[in-house]
Amino acid sequence: MLLTRLLSLAAAAATITAGASIAQAADPVAKGGTLIYLEQQAHTNLYPPAGGFYPNGGVLNQITDKLTYQNPKTLEIEPWIAESWTVNGDATEYVFKIRPGVTFSDGTPLDAAAVARNFDTYGLGNKELKYPISEVITNYKASEVIDPLTVKFTFTKPSVGFLQGTSVIGSGLVSLKTLSLPFDALGDATKIIGSGPFVVSSETLGRELLLAARKDYAWGPAKLAHQGRANLDSIKYVVTPEDSVRIGALLAGQAQVIRQVQAYDEKQVQSKNFVIYAPPTRGVNNSVVFRPDNPLVADLRVRQALLHATNAKEIVATLFSANYPLAKSIIASTAQGYVDLSAKLTYDPALAARLLDEAGWTVGPKGLRQKDGKELVLTAYESPPQPQNKETLQLVAQQWAKVGVKLNVLAGDAGSRVADSLDPVKTPVAPAMVGRADPDVIRSQYYPTTRNVLLQKGGVSTRVQGFVDDKLNAFLEAIAAETDAAKRLALVAEVQSYVIDQAYTIPIFEEPQAFAASPRLKDFAFEAVGRPSFYAAWLAPK
Amino acid sequence: MIRYLAGRVGQALAVLFATFTAAFLLLQVLPGDAVMIKFMSPEMGLSPQQIAEIRASYAADLPIWEQYLRTVANFLSGNFGYSIQAGVPVSQQLAINLPPTLQLAALAFVAAVILTIALAALSNMVGMAWLRSALQALPSLFISVPVFWLGIMLIQVFSFQLGLVSVISPGPVERLILPVTTLAIPISAPLAQILMRNIDEVLAQPFVAVARAKGASRHWVLWKHVARNAVLPTLTIAGVLFGELLAGAVVTEAVFGLNGLGGLTYQAVGNHDTAVLQAIVVISALAFVTINLIVDLLYPVLDPRLGSKLGTAT
């Protein structure tokens, strides 16, 4: 039992910043009880590939199991529903051996056929039922059920990220009954039937969700210290949008854990001996990106100037806390293949001014830089899900103003934001981040047919005139296809330098997902990109 | 009377239809739509071809007039469509969110009326001048208190500090106490202001002096003669205040984390969830029209002079 505690503590140690002490390891595990979890926003559609949205991930991670488990500490892929697997030399064929005896909560077996059907859906989508394709699966061709517990997946091109892709929230396995429903019906959590340690027992849409522990659960990740059913009896999710109400309710003992705590509230929580958890999201850092299709930022010197005019250290010191480490590359220092590029990310307003002069932008009468009668005025929309994003952008705007560049920060309604964000003329600058613990995340972020943050031609946007960076795309394709792990990480290093050298991105901080919890909550853990896991969690008696 | 009623119902239906059409057009004019917000946001990572297919599957690629006719037909057959953002049928969302809002709004309205009458009565019955002016100043204070601030203060004091009521998993009655108070206070303010001013005006009328001269007590005059005359304009405002109730419910529901039409509206507006908004607009218009119809029909009950005019019309 002591070993159990120590192991899971070790897994969480990197993320806990206060409160937890090893002395608690001697406490006996208290079983049972209901945990009250306050969520900032209601979940939306719970189709697993749409699990990236934090509130969705927080629910899906308790009710679905994944084929593989990514150890949040080592980032190694470990067995879960798949007992073992083999991959062919060029990563176009994967064979998984399924653990026997696993069932979905509706009683149907989680066997090779079910796994095959899940990945066929996630990899190819389903037009009839309106299911979109999963972001993490690329080049998917087909599945083949070899025997009831063996399934083979084939790909049209090498798909190195697939193994890690089977471990993410977006690849949660669900019953065939769920996959036969139309996409539009999957916003109802009671329809999401997984094989996880908890089952949705009731829901008041948009307000409350009750999860009950599955008593016969016996297939947690094999290497995890905790085994068998979950310690808690149930978890009650209550949507509580107002920040002060979430924190007040936690401190008053009306809830035991809350999601989304702003940096400025951390002290208030810690001063009462409550615990802040800030697990890293390990992906592309919280950054400001440029859309070089816009002539104002097409010139490399302008982008470099703005990179050196940005004082990320001041932003972190002013708005955030120690849980928000200063970015030193385009990806987090906890991400795979990270290279420290802080030497290239210096704050140097003199250099910025010189670069702008060289690019022909001279300071005009109002202190604003001008060229050919045009002023250097840029626009960005805030991104509400990112922590204090409006304040971050406003501080960036103040810093840029010092070198004569104006940045307008707009709030806007969702419609204008999405429409304008697809138009490089309207949004030459944009905030961006994405979490995933695999180098493939860089491709997700920059490749034209995926998130396409730089707005290259070939993506969803029809407003892009012609900006394409073939060299960048070649790097990204190579990362997706390179089967040799060492070579792959070398490519990841190269692409980080390349993106910074091109000044496409100004990294600001490494984004965590911030939670606060009662000191009574023990063994609260997180998957690799910061989604909560209550499988081993338990509540100490008052 | 029946012709009057039929005329009023006809008017109400015309208003409903106009509201429906205006809402539909305005929602079309807004930049972007729900399909775009949900599926073109970069997280989905979809190709332009996939998006075009999704658009077609939601019939969002049809010309506007055809979409309009489809929506009208669907509404008439009771089909409100799907919420693209939440991934559930709109009718299911309404079934969950409409009753709590109606309950909250109705209780808050009743509480506001009680508060209004209490304020008006007290301020006219207390003798001390300073207390009287203090009571008369209260509505101005109530009107200037922001609902969200009031809500948060009530929660902080009564739930978190004193621990009298729970906000997170409250009982069925417990859950209503603070939200109803929060919503009732700002609603009572304009009602009380108007009622108090009308009472003052009526008190200045010659017939009051006559009644008093005949030996009626101050209280008797207040209840028998003044109140009845002063309540009419208040009733008109009460009908109009329904809109405020709904607006107040948006904030109250967000602060207290209650499910209801307010929270639903807030989310639907944020995401341009057209189907949801269209249904909410129609329901709100229906409620508005109904309440004003009831108010109109109540007038003759309170003032027989209006009734005789109606009587000649039938």
pLDDT value of position B244: 77
- The answer to whether residue A27 scores a pLDDT higher than 80 is no
- Please tell me the CATH superfamily of domain B90-313, with its number: MetI-like (1.10.3720.10)
pLDDT digits (tens, 9 = 90+) for A392-444: 999 999 999 999 999 999 987 777 888 888 899 999 999 998 888 888 889 88
> Concatenated DSSP letters for A274-327?
-EEE--B--SEEEEEEE-TTSGGGTSHHHHHHHHHH--HHHHHHHH--TTSPBP
At B270, list the tokens: 């944020």
Angstrom distance (rounded) from CA B8 to CA B298: 13
Average pLDDT of adjacent 10-residue blocks, chain B of 314 residues:
81 90 86 74 68 78 85 86 83 89 89 90 81 87 88 92 86 88 90 87 84 82 79 78 77 85 83 87 86 80 66 42
Answer whether B51 sits within 8 Å of A449, measured CB to CB: no
- Count of CB atoms situated within 10 Å of the CB of A244: 15
Write out the two tokens for A397. 């705007």
Contact A414 B259 (CB under 8 A): no
pLDDT at B88: 84
**Extended beta strands in A411-497, E state:** 429-434
What would the two tokens of residue A329 be? 């590359």
Give phi and psi for B93, each to the nearest 5. -60, -40
CB contact under 8 A, A418 and B40: yes
Q: What's the whole-number mean pLDDT along residues A473-493?
A: 91
β-bridge partners, A97: A84, A150
* Residues of A (202-221) whose Cβ lies below 8 Å from B: 204-208
Predicted pLDDT at A18: 39
What residues have CB less than 8 Å from A204, skipping those under 6 apart? B96, B259
Give the residue on B whose Cα is nearest the Cα of A460: B48
Residue A206 and residue B160: Cβ atoms within 8 Å? no
Mean pLDDT of A327-356: 95
Owner of token pair 């419910």: B249
Distance CA(B284)–CA(B268), nearest Å, equals: 15
Residues 6 or more apart whose CB falls under 8 angstroms from that of B258 comprise: A207, B100, B104, B175, B179, B252
Distance, CA of A464 to CA of A458 (rounded, Å): 8
At A516, the amino acid letter reads A
What part of A 219-238 touches B (C-beta under 8 Å)? Answer: 236, 238
Residue B61's alpha-carbon distances to A309, B33, B35, B55, in angstroms, are 44, 11, 10, 6
| C-beta separation of A476 from A442 below 8 A | yes
User: Is there a contact between A249 and B168 if contact means CB atoms under 8 Å apart?
Assistant: yes
Contact status of A255 with chain B (Cβ, < 8 Å): yes
Name the band, by pLDDT with cuts 50, 70 and 90, for residue A118: very high
The rounded distance, in Å, linking the Cα atoms of A103 and A216 is: 9
Beginning with the edge strand found earlier in the chain, give each strand of the sheet holding A369-371 in spatial order. A362-363, A369-371, A374-375
- Rounded Cα distance between A526 and A11, Å, is 9
The answer, yes or no, to whether residue A2 has pLDDT greater than 80, is no
The pLDDT of residue A366: 85
Q: Which of A5, A3, A62 is nearest to A29 (CA)?
A: A5
- Cβ-nearest to A241 among B42, B163, B257: B257
Segment A247-296, tens digit of pLDDT: 999 999 999 999 999 999 999 999 999 999 999 988 899 999 999 999 99
Say what the ipTM of the complex is: 0.76
User: What is the rounded CA–CA span in Å between residue A448 and residue A19?
Assistant: 44
Complete DSSP assignment for A132-183: PPPTT--SEEEEEEEETTEEEEEESS--TTHHHHTTSGGG--B-HHHHTS-G
Residue type, A113: A
8 Å CB contact between A81 and A115: yes
Residue A92 binned pLDDT confidence (cut-offs 50, 70, 90): very high
Beta bridge partners of A380: A409
Neighbours of B312 (CB within 10 A): 6
Q: Are A285 and A507 in contact (CB under 8 A)?
A: yes
Chain A interface, mutation test: which of B30, B88, B90, B277, most A Cβ atoms within 10 Å?
B88
Q: Which of B84, B59, B87 is nearest to B73 (CA)?
A: B59
Q: Bigger pLDDT: A68 or A139? A: A68
Q: How far apart are CA A492 and CA A329, in angstroms?
A: 11
- Which has more confidence, A208 or A461? A208
The closest CB to that of A416, out of B32, B50, B258, belongs to B32
Cβ atoms of residues A380 and A409 within 8 Å: yes
> Residues A172, A50: contact at Cβ < 8 Å?
no
Per the CB < 8 Å rule, is B168 touching A125? no
Write down the pLDDT at residue A4.
40
Region A106-119 average pLDDT: 97
Q: Does A378 touch chain B (CB under 8 A)?
A: no
Indicate the residue of A205, A241, A462 with minimum beta-carbon distance to B88: A205
Interface contact A419-B36, CB threshold 8 A: yes
The pLDDT of residue A346 is above 60: yes
Please choose, from the candidates A287, A290, A264, A261, the residue with its C-alpha nearest in 3D space to the C-alpha of residue A276: A261
| Residue-wise pLDDT tens digits, A442-473 | 988 999 888 889 999 988 788 889 899 999 99
Taking contacts as CB-CB distances below 8 angstroms, the residues of chain A near B158 are none
B-facing residues of A in 448-467 (CB < 8 A) are: 449-453, 459-460, 462
Model confidence at A24: pLDDT above 70:
no
The rounded distance, in Å, linking the Cα atoms of A204 and A207 is 5
Chains A–B, number of C-beta pairs less than 8 Å apart: 162
CA B1 to chain centroid, in Å, comes to: 28
List chain B residues with CB under 8 Å of A420: 31
- Taking the Cβ of residue A184 and every Cβ of chain B, the question of whether any pair is shorter than 8 Å is answered with yes
Phi, psi for residue A194 in degrees, rounded to 5: -115, -165
Q: Which residue of chain B is at minimal alpha-carbon distance from A253?
A: B160
Average pLDDT, integer, range A133-137: 87
Give the pLDDT mean for A220-241: 94
pLDDT at A241: 86
Residue with tokens 């059409």: B21
Indicate the domain borders of chain B.
34-79, 90-313
| Cβ–Cβ gap A415/B36 under 8 Å | yes
Q: Is the Cβ–Cβ distance between B91 and A188 less than 8 Å?
A: no
Tell me if A439 sits within 8 A of A496, measured CB to CB.
no
Instruction: Read off the pLDDT of each residue in A59-75 and give the average, rounded to a whole number.
Output: 95
Contacts of A6 (CB under 8 A, 6+ apart): A22, A25
pLDDT score recorded for residue A1: 39
Please name the residue of chain A whose CA is at the shortest distance from the CA of residue B44.
A135
Question: DSSP readout, B88-128?
Answer: EEHHHHHHHHHHHHHHHHHHHHHHHHHHHHHHHHHHHH---
Cβ atoms < 10 Å from Cβ of B132: 15
Closest to A504 (Cα-Cα) out of A323, A333, A285, A336: A285
Side-chain half-sphere exposure of A63, counting CA atoms within 13 A = 30
Verify whether the Cβ–Cβ distance A204 to B36 is below 8 Å.
no
Choice among A67-76, A127-136, B245-254 with the minimum mean pLDDT: B245-254
Query: pLDDT at position A177, please?
Result: 96
Provide the 8-state DSSP code for A331: B
At residue B3, the pLDDT reads: 81
Q: Is residue A178 scored above 70 in pLDDT?
A: yes
Q: Is the pLDDT of residue A229 over 60?
A: yes
> Which residues of A are less than 8 Å from B53 in CB distance?
127
